[in-house]
Amino acid sequence: MGGNGLLFIISGPSGTGKSTLCKELIRCCPEVRFSVSYTTRPPRKDEIAGKDYIFVSSEAFKAMIEQGEFAEWAEVYGHCYGTPRAAIEQALKEGQDLLFDIDCQGTRQLQQCYPQGITIFVLPPSLSELQRRLQGRKTDSSEVMQSRLSKAHREISQAIGYDYIVVNAALADTVSVIQSIVTAEKHRRQYVLEHLSLVKDLLKA
């Protein structure tokens, strides 16, 4: 083996079920590791520090920005989220595949550093379903919910810049589609030529 790992960037509007989807993907694809973001947002009830996010103070986050430690970062609804560059570099070097759950803004930043990243846009089955899901998230105030919904409308138009588009109607189906994307990407010429010594040997023969 040898060669770089792959970067799978899952993005899409709030309320499409990205977080649940990513958790399930990590459970089903043991070869892919979740890229844990830093955030200044307080943990939600079911979130585990160090696993879902690394929760830090605004001061600590600001210091990391100033040190240029983030490959991407963004402020969303008053909270900061960011992915440290060092973690990505380390994973790539080890041939470790990473899965990112980031917003559209973060995706664009990450693509500037890592144009090889494979971008997957997750869409809700419909706008009314998206609204229902956002309303079901009791942690948000109604202003935040309204703001999320109108942001979601705007973000959906960005799907056209992504490599893949997946409609998340049923979780198990969506997980299966993204597993297929992971498998397919691991059989792309470039990846195979870098990774499989058997193929290198056959081509040299």
Contact positions toward a second copy, by CB under 8 A? 121, 123-127, 153, 156-157, 159-160, 162-167, 176-177, 179-181, 183-185, 187-189, 192-193, 196, 198-199, 202-203, 205
Shortest Cβ 127–a second copy spacing (Å): 6
Q: Of 90 and 190, which has the nearer Cβ to a second copy?
A: 190
Q: Of 71 and 159, which has the nearer Cβ to a second copy?
A: 159
Secondary structure (3-state) at 105: helix
The C-alpha atoms of residue 78 and residue 76 are separated, in whole angstroms, by: 5
Shortest Cβ 120–a second copy spacing (Å): 8
Shortest Cβ 106–a second copy spacing (Å): 19
HSE, side-chain direction, 13 A CA sphere, residue 29: 25
Q: Is the sign of the CA dihedral 12, 15, 21, 23 positive or negative?
A: positive
Residue 164 has φ and ψ, to the nearest 5°, of -130, 150
Q: Of 71 and 122, which has the nearer Cβ to a second copy?
A: 122
Q: Of 90 and 180, which has the nearer Cβ to a second copy?
A: 180
Q: Which helix (H) or strand (E) holds 75?
A: strand 70-76
CB atoms within 10 A of CB 76: 15
